[in-house]
Every structure is written in C-alpha cells, then in structure tokens.
Amino acid sequence: MEKKPVAANRRKFLARAREQLLETKTKLLGEIDSELQAERDGNKDEGMDTYDLASEERDREINFILSDRERIKLKQIDDALERLDDGTYGVCEACGLEIAEERLDAMPFSRLCRDCQQDEEREAKSQRSFDNERNAYRKIGSTDADDESA
Ligand SMILES: [Zn+2]
C-alpha cells in the first residue's frame, strides 16, 4: 500500500462523505433537541412541587450534561468537515495512508486507518473515558464496522 494522489473516485467519495456528515449532524442536532425535551418533561412530572424553586437550575444542569456528551459527537463531525476542507480528511493521522472507503462509510469521522485505530484501542482499553467516544461512534454510524471487518 502506497500513498496515492487524490483520484477522481476519491474526490467523489469525499463529496459524498461531506453530504453524509452534514446529514448526520442535522440528525444529531434533532436528537439532542428531543432528548433534552424528554428529560425536561420527565423531570417536571417527577418533582414539579418538590423541586419547584430549583427546577430552572436543574434544567440548566441537565442541559449542560447532555449537551456536553453530545458535543463530543458534534465535534467529531465538525472536525471531519474541517479536514474535508483542508484536504486531510480520509488520511490516517498516524501513518499517512488513505483510510479505506468502507471504513469511512461505517465511521465517517474516523481519523485513523484500521490498523492504527486498533493500536489506539488497545491503549484505550485501560482508559474508561474512551468508552464514551466509542459508543458515540456506534450511535452515529449506520453500520457496525466491527462486523464488516471480521
Ligand atoms: Zn494508519
């Protein structure tokens, strides 16, 4: 495997990838909205009387927690869109090889090729905080990359 110049096919693929990223972002923003709405409604039902005075503060707290979690996903999408602009999208940050298109289809904001990702995941297994990011991948990705690559 050697590094290739950006071929016409690849450029088409990248254009599609951009559209999909934008779609995913729109969908995610919609999901965040309805999640926040559901949380708010649920909490109002539960403790409107008890938490009357504090409810506004609680709302803000819930809002913060949720959007913080979702912000990780949004940032991954925005980063990918930025890299599409500067031409580094789809190029592995660790080894510089083009990331396989099927991998990018499954995980559109992947920054690493499969090999480098596996290296990183081996390290990440000792870091619980990375689990959240991997869950984010699964939630956004339309297909399960682990099954595909088996
Ligand atoms: Zn790599």
pLDDT in tens, 109-123: 888 999 999 998 888
- What is the CA(28)–ligand 1 centre distance, in A? 28
| Centroid of ligand 1 to alpha carbon of 97 (angstroms) | 6
Confidence of residue 131 (pLDDT cuts 50, 70, 90): low
Q: Let me know: does 55 contact 48? Beta carbons within 8 Å.
A: yes
What is the pTM (predicted TM-score) of this model? 0.57
User: For the chain, where are the E strands, in sequence order?
Assistant: none
Give the Å distances, CA to CA, from 38 to 33, 44, 99, 103, 138. 9, 10, 38, 33, 22
pLDDT at 96: 96
Distance (Å) from CA 43 to ligand 1 centroid: 45
Q: What separation in Å is there between the alpha carbon of 94 and the centre of ligand 1?
A: 5
CA of 70 to the centre of ligand 1 (A): 26
pLDDT in tens, 12-70: 999 999 999 999 899 988 887 887 788 778 766 555 555 555 667 766 665 666 667 78
Q: How many angstroms does the Cα of residue 72 sit away from the middle of ligand 1? A: 22
Q: Binning pLDDT at 50, 70 and 90, where does residue 11 land?
A: very high
Spatial neighbors of 39 by CB under 8 A, at least 6 apart, are: 62, 66
Q: Residue 59 and residue 36: Cα distance in Å, rounded?
A: 9
pLDDT at 149 over 70: no
What is the CB-side half-sphere exposure of residue 41 using CA atoms within 13 A? Answer: 6
**C-alpha of residue 99 to centroid of ligand 1, in Å:** 7
DSSP tag of 143: S
pLDDT of residue 10: 94
Contact 14, 87 (CB under 8 A): no
Burial of 64 (0-12, 13-18, 19+ CB in 10 A): exposed
124 alpha carbon – ligand 1 mean position (Å): 16
Tens digit of pLDDT for each residue in 61-101? 656 666 677 888 888 899 999 999 999 999 999 999 999 99
